[in-house]
Amino acid sequence: MLDEFSPKVFIEKESSASFGECAIDERLKFALSNRGISRLYAHQCEAIGKIGEGKNIVIVAPTASGKTESYMLPAVLAALRGENVLVVYPTKALSRDQLARWREFSLLGVRAEIFDGDTSDYWREKIKGSPPQVLITNFDMLHFLLMQSRNLSPFWKNLRMVVVDELHTYSGVLGAHVSNIVWRLKRVCEKHQNAKKLQFVCCSATIANAQEFANAIFEEEFEGVQASGAPKPYVEHYVVNPGDESYTTTALKVVKELGKKTLLFGNSHAVVERLGVMAGDMGLSLAVYRAGLEMRERKEIEEEFRSGKVKILATTSALELGIDIGSVDAVVLAGFPGTITRFRQRVGRAGRKGQKAYAVYIARDNPLDQYFAESPERYLEGEPERCFVNPYNEAVSQAHVICASRDFPLADSELSGKRRERASELLQKGMLKRWGSRLIPSKDALRFVKESGIRSEAEPVEIVDANTGRKMGEREEHMAIRELHPGAIYLHGGVHYRGVEFDAKGKIAKIARDASAKGYYTSALHQKEYEALETIKEREVFGRTLYFGRMHIRDTVEGYALKDVYTQETVAKHPLAQELVHEFDTLGIWLDFEGEAHIGNFADGLHALEHVSISMMPAICGSDPAEIGGISYPSGAMAVYEGVAFGNGATAQIFEKYEKVMEMSADRLEKCACEKGCPKCIFSPMCGNNNRYLDKEAGLKIAKEVLKN
């Protein structure tokens, strides 16, 4: 199969189930029997036992391992005892998918309801008037529910168990929000005279530090449960390097040849939309499924795929999670998703009914994709990445201290450490004010609270149709200046738009339809500078000092390159009439390579080494590649920074494993077959210089000399 693509082929053998011994409450057996379940896996029994002992647990489970029963059965028993359960899923789609499972227990008198952004006003009032035993939501909505907690006072007063599914999705800055929301949740329950100690039950994909990550997010002690008892299907793995054509073109050709019910994963909205347009040009029937679709449209696509009316879905991480879309025979990955964890989650969607499964990995021309394509055992058998969080991110922590004062007035005794510092700063800024012995939000703070969300650390840029004035969406500022500047090509709903105006002060980007943009895309040309502000810790690596701390970043977009969508070749370059600048403080690491300055063409070599090392870092820290940036100077200074204001904790992981980054970088430079550099080793789509001033040979010499130390 797929012979024309000259793939590498690997077989993952099937494995049988390992069952445990644990009693199932007679009242629950009927629901399990309806699903054909008569026995529980060993890890399900272990999880149920620990939950019964009142422990906080994190269940580390691959896709289709039966994790839902591990927490659902104890949660239903808690509801039958008269206790309330809060269930938090990462997406609205997953909440609605799982609601049917919860409602299988309605005959026992257990009522489950969803309260999220898609819940109608009618149902919101019904829930407030009579709260269910099981309330399903997401952290975005929980953030606002806590500020209006009196509407659900009986629920908070009787809350005992909190279930958080897909914990690994909260790595990074979103995890900082989640950690602060959990702090507020505990406080709100206390204010509603809840004498129970909340019990937390989490599920995560397979990551290297699930227990440590849960401890950090919830500020509680957790025990881990490894889900290894579920059966696994027989999987044929194919690794394809596209050659001269684009990886998206190859991915669509592979899907067509497979001729099976397939999920085609892309790594961004833009890529998935592009796949949809290209599939139409190739006469391939394909539906696009991604976040941001209306619930009705989302449900229609899910049902059409489930029924077989649609056999190919191009999707983002929206279907990486456990939404039931029926049988899937094949998974095609258009590019490595950044981490081993996400790779395994996506591949795990195929063969869930026990049938033979196919997994095809289309490697892009970038260093990380090629690193794993060369040795697939690295993702098939290698150690998964670590999740990370910085709960005290300054901007995030300040926002939630304000929100906590809106939940209930804050007493000084309720604040400690960094949160006490944030409250003091907010008092000085006039965002908090004294009300007797307590702190309450000012009018400006109340306006901030009303508009605040947890998906962005700063006010986003609005995307507006220049011809109609209609708001079309939002984008974080650091991405907006690169994607929505005048002249930028922007895909929305499969339609090509051009940036026509960017109001940096008003945070509005205007775009207009442009049919002539079809077949092209743009890449921003920008310059970056950094300044180290504070060293938090340091250590010796390779005979030099590696620093981790606070830094200031200035990113200036000066122009853009117009590129062919099929070949990625640069067609033209255009300067901007007015530069766009984004500045922020963040966390990062920095070190000096001046000891290698004697190597010929040193500056270009260091630039090349910076590119390849940045590309490797997601495999170490588990971050999205877009969350990490790099800067190198001809003097020998190099810095790696976190792309969000005040940092998300990613570079703290890199700081601890920098030696591995250098080893991986040298390996990629040495094994790449090109002579002077290519996208598979040192070219980066994020390069502000459009991949000029690079020297592969000099970069390899620097890496080898460093490793000798």
Question: Are 611 and 508 contacting, i.e. CB atoms less than 8 angstroms apart?
Answer: no
Spatial distance between the Cα atoms of 275 and 316, rounded to a whole number of angstroms? 11
Classify residue 528 by burial, with Cβ atoms within 10 Å: 0-12, 13-18, 19+: middle
Q: Is residue 103 predicted with pLDDT exceeding 90?
A: yes
Does residue 357 or residue 448 have the better pLDDT?
357
Per the prediction, the chain carries an average pLDDT of 91
- Read off the pLDDT of residues 163-180 as tens digits, 9 standing for 90 and up: 999 999 998 889 999 999
Q: What is the predicted pLDDT for the residue at 229?
A: 79
Residue 492: what pLDDT?
A: 82
- DSSP letter at 34 equals H
Residue 457: predicted pLDDT: 54
Q: What span, in angstroms and rounded, lies between the C-alpha atoms of 338 and 512?
A: 32
d(CA 303, CA 289): 12
Helix (H) or strand (E) holding 479: helix 477-483
Q: 446 versus 239: which is more confidently predicted?
A: 239
Task: Average the pLDDT over 624-653 and give the result.
Answer: 89
Give the per-residue pLDDT at 252.
96
Residues 697-709 pLDDT 10s: 999 999 999 999 8
DSSP assignment letter at 383? P
pLDDT of residue 390: 85
Q: How confident is the model at residue 458 (pLDDT cuts 50, 70, 90)?
A: low
157 alpha-carbon distance from chain centroid: 33
Q: Per residue in 353-405, pLDDT tens?
A: 889 999 999 999 889 899 999 888 888 888 888 888 888 888 889 999 999 99
Strands 199-204 and 159-164: parallel
Where helices occur in 35-160 by DSSP H, the ranges are: 42-52, 67-80, 92-102, 121-129, 139-147, 153-157
- pLDDT per residue over 117-136, tens digit each? 889 999 999 999 999 999 99
Task: Kindly state the tokens that stand for 668.
Answer: 């990629």
Coil, strand, or helix at residue 436?
coil
From CA 116, how far away is CA 699, in angstroms rounded?
A: 50
- Span 541-553, pLDDT tens digits: 999 999 999 999 9
H helices of 240-323, in order, are: 247-258, 269-281, 295-307
Residue 406: C-alpha distances to residues 409, 451, 545 (Å) = 6, 13, 45
Q: Is the pLDDT of residue 239 over 80?
A: yes
Q: pLDDT class for 456, splitting at 50, 70, 90?
A: low
Count the alpha carbons within 13 Å of 442 in the hemisphere toward its beta carbon: 12
pLDDT in tens, 43-71: 999 999 999 999 999 999 888 788 899 99
By CB atoms closer than 10 A (0-12, 13-18, 19+), residue 103 is middle
Tokens of 599: 């190597």
pTM above 0.95, yes or no: no
The per-residue pLDDT for range 555-567, each reduced to its tens digit, is 999 999 999 887 8
Q: Which helix (H) or strand (E) holds 591?
A: strand 570-592
CA 361 → CA 149, 245, 254, 368, distances in Å? 47, 15, 10, 13
Please tell me the predicted confidence (pLDDT) of residue 352: 82
Q: Which residues have CB under 8 Å from 481's CB, separation 6+?
A: 502, 504, 524, 526, 555, 557, 580, 581, 582
CA 570 centroid distance within chain:
30
d(CA 64, CA 48): 18
- Provide mean pLDDT across the span 33-47: 90
Average pLDDT over residues 465-486: 91
Residues forming beta bridges with residue 587, ordered by sequence position: 550
Q: In what order do the strands lie in the sheet with 287-289?
A: 8-12, 235-240, 357-362, 330-334, 262-265, 312-315, 287-289
Dist CA 140 CA 177 (whole Å)? 9
pLDDT in tens, 512-531: 999 999 999 999 999 999 99
Q: How many residues does the chain have?
A: 709
Which tokens go with 367? 């260093």
Interatomic CA distance for residues 228 and 232, integer angstroms: 10
Distance of alpha carbon 21 from the chain centroid: 36
Give the residue from 384, 262, 281, 284 showing the smallest Cα distance to 334.
262
Q: All domains of the chain, ordered by start, with CATH?
A: 3-9+231-380 (3.40.50.300), 17-226 (3.40.50.300), 394-451 (1.10.10.10), 525-708 (3.30.1360)
DSSP assignment of 677-689 equals --TTTT--TT-TT
